Amino acid sequence: MKEIDQGAEHNTVKERILKEALRLFSEKGFEGTSLQAIADAVGIQKPSLIYHFPSKENLRQNVVESLIVYWKNELPRMLTTSQDDSNRLVSTMTSLVNFFMEDVNRARLVVREMIDRPEETFSVLNEHVSPWTRLIGDYLRMGQQGGIYKKDVDPNAYIVQVMVMVVGTVAMGTVISGMVSASTDISHGPLIKELVRIVQASLYADKK
Amino acid sequence: MKEIDQGAEHNTVKERILKEALRLFSEKGFEGTSLQAIADAVGIQKPSLIYHFPSKENLRQNVVESLIVYWKNELPRMLTTSQDDSNRLVSTMTSLVNFFMEDVNRARLVVREMIDRPEETFSVLNEHVSPWTRLIGDYLRMGQQGGIYKKDVDPNAYIVQVMVMVVGTVAMGTVISGMVSASTDISHGPLIKELVRIVQASLYADKK
DNA sequence: GCTCAAGCCTACCAGATGATAGGCAAGTAT
DNA sequence: ATACTTGCCTATCATCTGGTAGGCTTGAGC
């Protein structure tokens, strides 16, 4: 019975720990979060935490891995979902935005990992994500030859920039909004709409 | 004599502390950096640190303020430097990129502050930067009416997105590059070139 | 019934942390 | 010369950190 629930139930202690750790790591950072704080958030004692995850570092790796697993399952689905070639790229990007918007903590954790552990994160991205982005790159180059996309687009750099915008907008968009408006609660809506516009306008060739 | 040097000399203990603190805060984060580590980097003892900056929090504020001061001096200069209206926006952005590229730690610290203290950073940006970005906003709206810029550009959101790209590219660009290439040392060059291209291509109206 | 492992607990540890107290040397002012 | 300030030091503090040792309870297997 216990083995049947494994993975399906969303309330096992282990999953609650991962959930609270993700939240606290992304809000306060890895170094800024104590095991005590996580234990308190879950409602257990510190040694019980250590029982499930033998060290803080191990817990961090598991939190990160839980995000990677999600990606490895979802990315292929995103890339194959829309049959329509013309907006496959935009629909993939939209799925990506939705993934991060589902839980802003995901974007913030990714940003933190990239700044805290640049080399390590580089390797992780290269190993788990680059196979799929390479496909997008090929797709872009084909579109360029076919005249659909602007010829001065640098496919690789373009993909990186789109990623910077997606992650950056979700993680920092509302904060940077302080640069242009005093209202504290600028929703992500207009930012993402403009994000999509920029991504498209800078990609598609002008109609002659 | 001492008062004359004040601010001009770059080797006072206080300035060396600020420099090392900026570096360590941006590399390891605020919580991830101990006063001991800063003191060691400067070459003094921990209590001597406390002598100059009464608390760690006070030191953080001074580090952040040193960046803000730079901005408040440079932003007006950037905005007024190029007389040529047609590329004032791009030249301003280039100056901004150069400012961050001068020391990547600047961009990373800004990103960290935005994620660690969203509300506080929002207020800081709103107070010190928004007066200038409002000018850019007006400038964009005028250009839209004049037909120079695309009409579907959302000026405020556009400015925010450009900022997301600038800060994001410098702070995370080389890491995200792991998504498209295995070579560890992708320079910022191509990324920034593509950044400028995207910013321009998504702004200027198509020639009819 | 007995054994055993799982899951969580209390009690505790060594080390690091931010911060304080107080001393001391050098320079400046009176 | 004396008194005071500046800038740095050593010694020490209470607190918190990640992590360990070991005990209690529950439930399944035999």
Determine whether the interchain pair A122/B152 forms a contact, defined as Cβ–Cβ distance below 8 Å: no
Distance CA B62, CA B53 (A): 9
Work out if A48's Cβ lies within 7 angstroms of strand D: no
**CATH number of the domain encompassing residue A23:** 1.10.10.60
Contact A88, B145 (CB under 8 A): no
pLDDT at B186: 66
Q: Percent of chain A at pLDDT above 70?
A: 90
Residue B75: Cβ within 10 Å count: 20
> From the first residue on, what is the mean pLDDT of each consecutive set of 10 residues in chain B (208 residues)?
37 87 95 93 90 93 91 79 68 88 94 95 91 88 90 93 96 90 76 94 81
Distance CA A105, CA A101 (A): 9
Q: Which domain holds residue B49?
A: 1-54
**A18 shares its domain with A88:** no
Contacts 24+ apart (CB under 8 A), A185-194: A188/A101, A190/B154, A190/B156, A190/B157, A191/B157, A191/B160, A191/B161, A192/A97, A192/A101, A193/B154, A193/B157, A194/B153, A194/B154, A194/B157, A194/B158, A194/B160, A194/B161
The more confidently predicted of residues B187 and A160 is A160
**B128 shares its domain with B173:** yes
In the stretch 70-109 of chain A, residues with CB closer than 8 A to chain B read 108
Range with the lowest mean pLDDT among A102-111, A140-149, B9-18, B60-69?
Answer: B9-18
**A43 shares its domain with A115:** no
pLDDT score of A9 more than 50: no
Band of pLDDT at residue A8, cut at 50, 70 and 90: very low
**B42 shares its domain with B106:** no
Question: A149: which strand partners?
Answer: A204
pLDDT at B6: 36
Contact A63, A18 (CB under 8 A): yes
**CATH number of the domain encompassing residue B162:** 1.10.357
**B135 shares its domain with B191:** yes
pLDDT score of A205 more than 50: yes
Handedness of CA B4, B7, B12, B13 (dihedral sign): positive
Band of pLDDT at residue A82, cut at 50, 70 and 90: low
Which of B31, B54, B77 is a domain's end point?
B54
Shortest alpha-carbon distance between residue B115 and chain A (Å): 7
Q: B186 in a domain, yes or no?
A: yes
Band of pLDDT at residue A3, cut at 50, 70 and 90: very low
Q: B152 in a domain, yes or no?
A: yes
**Average pLDDT for chain A:** 86
What are the φ and ψ backbone dihedral angles of A43, each rounded to 5 degrees? 95, 30
Closest nucleotide relative to residue A35's CA, C1' based: D18
**A76 shares its domain with A141:** yes
How many folded domains does chain B comprise?
A: 2
**How remote is the C-alpha of B200 from its chain's centroid?**
20
**B18 shares its domain with B75:** no
Q: A59 in a domain, yes or no?
A: no
**How remote is the C-alpha of A176 from its chain's centroid?**
19
Report the phi/psi class of residue B43: left, alpha or beta, with left for phi > 0 and alpha for psi in -120 to 50.
left
Contact A164, B165 (CB under 8 A): yes
Closest CA to the C1' of D16: that residue is A34
**A46 shares its domain with A122:** no
**A74 shares its domain with A168:** yes
**A83 shares its domain with A34:** no
pLDDT at B7: 37
Q: Which of B29, B125, B161 sits opposite A191 (nearest CB)?
A: B161
DSSP assignment, residue A10? S
CA of B18 to C1' of D12 (A): 27
Q: B206 in a domain, yes or no?
A: no
**B193 shares its domain with B145:** yes
Query: B177: which chain A residues are within 8 Å (Cβ-Cβ)?
Result: 122, 156, 160
Closest CA to B18 of B69, B52, B45: B52
Is B167 in CB contact (< 8 Å) with chain A?
yes
Q: Which of residues 27-56 of A touch strand C (CB under 7 A)?
A: 43-48, 51-52
Q: B4 in a domain, yes or no?
A: yes
Which of A54, A74, A95 is a domain's end point?
A54
Q: A194 in a domain, yes or no?
A: yes
Q: Tokens 């250009």 correspond to what residue?
A: B143
pLDDT at A2: 33
Q: B207 in a domain, yes or no?
A: no
**B84 shares its domain with B143:** yes
pLDDT score of A184 more than 80: no
Q: B88 in a domain, yes or no?
A: yes
Band of pLDDT at residue A12, cut at 50, 70 and 90: confident
Determine whether the interchain pair A160/B152 forms a contact, defined as Cβ–Cβ distance below 8 Å: no
Determine whether the interchain pair A115/B171 forms a contact, defined as Cβ–Cβ distance below 8 Å: yes
pLDDT digits over B11-30, tens only? 787 888 999 999 999 999 99
Rounded to 5°, the CA angle A49-A51-A57 comes to 65
